[in-house]
């Protein structure tokens, strides 16, 4: 499907959207509001109401199983706080809006006040998805939802079909990555109001762009989480996570419901097209039905079942069972998983770095080098499929994934983690071999997995994206020290004086320096890279997307310095790539892949060449840093 015919939403009608749930407030008739709180650690709960000169306090009635419910005079815009039986004022964990940040009053919101005009939007097929990950606060100078709206035409012209917002659930302070959010239902007030986020989603749909949201269901942040004060049962000591006690998905249905309802809330009330679930390997659940299974099934059967929705996982453990397909090749639970394996292979090849977790991608225990490992990721998905990991001291990692289609994996050369978790937030364009990086980009954007670009990558931005957070005076020094100590194991940071040069994540300067510099796009070198990305995405949409759903298998082979990968349907080749990342011409002589024969037999035609004369293609003779793409006739 070409960009000219890509579905967009018209403005022919309006509809009101809201998600009915047990958490949060419920607007009732006659100017009244129902307030609800699950507080099993409390014997009594009150709610303090504030609206202009009007202030009052009402006692909530115990309903059993830890629930407290009460109704009072109120309307949209009213501020409120719950007060526990030890007189601690706390925000509503189901708050739809926190205008005064995570420690302030919650605000009553009427979700039906926003009139949606994207009523005919049905979403896009997963195979047409081209993801663009962005951080709302640093993507534009404004750092707001409205700022993102102002760039939608730019993204459409680039060829993006889906933006993926890093978490927007309300987090403490004026800036942060969002992974330390504490109020999952409230869009971050620094970015705008709930209606501002809805307007972003709506305007994206009118331009034919999906909106994905990164959600965090594995922990709460360290500041502003009051659940321990009135709902200790929300957590369990049975499991541990990197952030402390695990969420109690096994012991209390209310905990499962809180997060499942959150997913449904974003999909229905905000008409979001897809969710990316962060670090699900840290979601501990030994129940008969894992919460991830239940969540996916509830989404499939939920209010949005009549239009396309996509669920994506980040899972360090490479668990393939969540990615299965049914007889019609549609996802049974989750559409895809972020494939860290392919990123690590790309990174080692582009930079030569081999420390930390990159050590597993220089050579595996089977003796395969990085080029071969990249071939495995391109053709089979995961590199580690029940294989021993040296980084994990020989422990087996992953499940078999070669039965899954390529679009069960989201691939990327960089993302927020792989940039921001570096000491100085270096983007790959600042640390890589340019020739190799460009060749890998050509591979990445035409491969049949789902591609993801990190904001600014399209013009090879070199502005850093660093880790930043705005925590209170008690936590901030600990975070600063902890961040710098994380790098003590690296030789270049063994000296405390050197570690002190690592930017302080808790200062506004670090946040401001992480903002994209849009004027760089006007520089010839960046404009040239942008045009390359734009042309590749257009070619992808017009050609690769048409064959992706046919692919049933992939095979990779390394001969000398050349990697070839062929993707087939019923043993008939439909897509192929040959890649030479060396600085010298390489010859294919005994390759089992025989790309030249496929061309001669008319099975494959030339799709794209990089550093190869398209009029004199010889796949057995690959120039330095060259890429050859072939596609079925």
Give the separation between CA 617 and CA 598, rounded to whole angstroms: 13
Q: What is the residue whose two structure tokens read 């040959």?
A: 578
Q: Is 244 left (phi over 0), alpha (psi -120 to 50) or beta?
A: left
Among 214, 250, 261, 278, the active-site one is 278
DSSP state of 328: T
> Would you say 413 and 452 are in contact if contact means Cβ atoms under 8 Å apart?
no
> Would you say 347 and 428 are in contact if contact means Cβ atoms under 8 Å apart?
yes
> Would you say 237 and 182 are in contact if contact means Cβ atoms under 8 Å apart?
no
**In what helix (H) or strand (E) does residue 557 lie, and over which residues does it extend?**
strand 553-559
Give the separation between CA 344 and CA 406, rounded to whole angstroms: 17
Cα separations (Å) of 514 from 98, 134, 421, 470?
25, 12, 13, 14
E strands, 385-447, are 387-389, 395-397, 409-412
Output the DSSP codes for 116-145: B--TT-----GGG--EEEE-HHHHSSS-SH
Which two structure tokens, joined as six digits, stand for 440? Answer: 């890998």
Give the separation between CA 156 and CA 339, rounded to whole angstroms: 25
Give backbone dihedrals phi and psi of 84, rounded to 5 degrees, phi first: -75, 175
> Would you say 286 and 250 are in contact if contact means Cβ atoms under 8 Å apart?
yes
Cβ-proximal residues to 572 (8 Å cutoff; 6+ apart), any chain:
603, 632
Q: In terms of Cα–Cα distance, which of 226, 229, 225 is closest to 216?
A: 225
DSSP state of 490: S
Give the separation between CA 181 and CA 223, rounded to whole angstroms: 9
Q: In what order do the strands lie in the sheet with 32-38?
A: 26-28, 32-38, 67-73, 61-64
CB count within 10 Å of CB 616 equals 7
> Would you say 217 and 315 are in contact if contact means Cβ atoms under 8 Å apart?
no
237 belongs to the catalytic site: no
| Residue 567: strand pairing partners | 554, 575
Cα separations (Å) of 441 from 139, 299, 371, 451?
22, 34, 15, 10
Give the separation between CA 456 and CA 533, rounded to whole angstroms: 11
Give the separation between CA 502 and CA 483, rounded to whole angstroms: 9
DSSP state of 538: H
Which two structure tokens, joined as six digits, stand for 467? Answer: 């880790």
Among 269, 314, 380, 457, the active-site one is 314
353 belongs to the catalytic site: no
Give the separation between CA 523 and CA 10, rounded to whole angstroms: 36
Q: What is the residue whose two structure tokens read 């860290």?
A: 340
| Cα 136–Cα 137–Cα 138 angle in degrees, nearest 5 | 95
- Report, as residue numbers or ranges, the catalytic residues: 278, 314
């Amino acid at each position: 499907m070409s960009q000219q015919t890509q579905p967009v939403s018209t403005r022919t009608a309006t509809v009101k959207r809201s998600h009915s749930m047990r958490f949060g407030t419920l607007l009732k008739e006659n100017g009244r509001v129902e307030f609800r709180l699950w507080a099993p650690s409390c014997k009594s709960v009150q709610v303090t109401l504030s609206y202009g000169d009007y202030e009052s306090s009402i006692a909530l009635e115990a309903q059993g199983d830890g629930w407290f419910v009460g109704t009072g005079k109120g309307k949209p815009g009213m501020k409120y706080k719950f007060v526990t039986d030890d007189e601690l004022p706390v925000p509503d964990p189901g708050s739809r809006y926190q205008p005064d940040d995570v420690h302030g009053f919650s605000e009553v919101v009427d979700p039906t006040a926003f009139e949606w005009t994207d009523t005919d939007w049905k979403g896009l097929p997963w195979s047409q998805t081209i993801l663009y990950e962005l951080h709302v606060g640093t993507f534009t100078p404004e750092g707001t939802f409205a700022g993102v709206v102002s760039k939608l035409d730019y993204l459409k012209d680039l060829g993006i079909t889906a933006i993926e917002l890093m978490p927007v659930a309300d987090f403490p302070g004026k800036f942060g990555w969002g992974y330390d959010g504490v109020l999952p239902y409230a869009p971050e007030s620094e970015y705008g109001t709930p209606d501002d986020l809805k307007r972003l989603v709506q305007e994206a749909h009118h331009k034919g762009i999906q909106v994905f949201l990164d959600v965090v269901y594995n922990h709460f942040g360290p500041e502003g989480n009051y659940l321990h004060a009135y709902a200790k049962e929300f957590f369990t000591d049975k499991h541990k996570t990197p952030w402390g006690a695990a969420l109690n998905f096994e012991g209390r249905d209310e905990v499962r419901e809180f997060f499942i309802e959150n997913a449904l809330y974003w999909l229905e009330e905000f008409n979001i097209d897809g969710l990316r679930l962060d670090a699900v390997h840290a979601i501990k659940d030994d129940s008969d039905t894992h919460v991830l299974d239940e969540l996916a099934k509830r989404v499939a059967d939920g209010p949005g079942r009549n239009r396309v929705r996509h669920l994506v996982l980040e899972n360090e453990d490479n668990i393939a069972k969540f990615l299965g397909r049914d007889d019609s090749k549609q996802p049974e639970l989750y559409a895809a998983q972020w494939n860290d394996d392919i990123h690590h292979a790309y990174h080692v090849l582009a930079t030569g770095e081999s420390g930390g977790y990159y050590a597993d991608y220089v050579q595996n225990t089977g003796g395969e080098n990085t080029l071969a490992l990249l071939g495995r990721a391109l053709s089979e998905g995961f590199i580690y499929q029940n294989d021993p990991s040296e980084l994990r001291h020989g422990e087996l990692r992953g499940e078999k994934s070669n039965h899954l289609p390529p679009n069960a994996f989201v691939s990327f050369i960089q993302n927020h983690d792989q940039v921001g978790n570096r000491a100085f937030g270096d983007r790959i364009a600042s640390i890589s071999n340019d020739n190799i990086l460009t060749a890998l980009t050509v591979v990445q954007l035409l491969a049949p997995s789902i591609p993801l670009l990190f904001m600014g990558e399209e013009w090879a931005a070199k502005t850093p994206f660093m880790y930043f957070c705005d925590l209170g005076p008690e936590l901030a020094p600990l975070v600063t020290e902890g961040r710098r100590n994380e790098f003590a194991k690296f030789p270049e940071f063994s000296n405390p004086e050197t570690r002190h040069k690592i930017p302080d994540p808790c200062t506004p300067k670090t946040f401001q320096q992480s903002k994209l510099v849009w004027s760089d796009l006007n520089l010839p070198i960046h404009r040239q890279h942008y045009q390359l990305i734009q042309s590749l995405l257009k070619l992808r949409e017009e050609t690769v997307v048409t064959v992706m759903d046919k692919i049933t298998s992939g095979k990779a082979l390394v001969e000398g310095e050349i990697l070839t990968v062929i993707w087939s349907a019923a043993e008939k080749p439909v897509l192929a790539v040959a890649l030479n990342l060396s600085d010298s011409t390489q010859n294919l002589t005994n390759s089992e892949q025989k790309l030249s024969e496929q061309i001669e037999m008319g099975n494959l035609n030339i799709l794209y060449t990089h550093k190869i004369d398209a009029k004199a293609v010889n796949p057995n003779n690959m120039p330095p840093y060259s890429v050859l793409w072939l596609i079925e006739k």
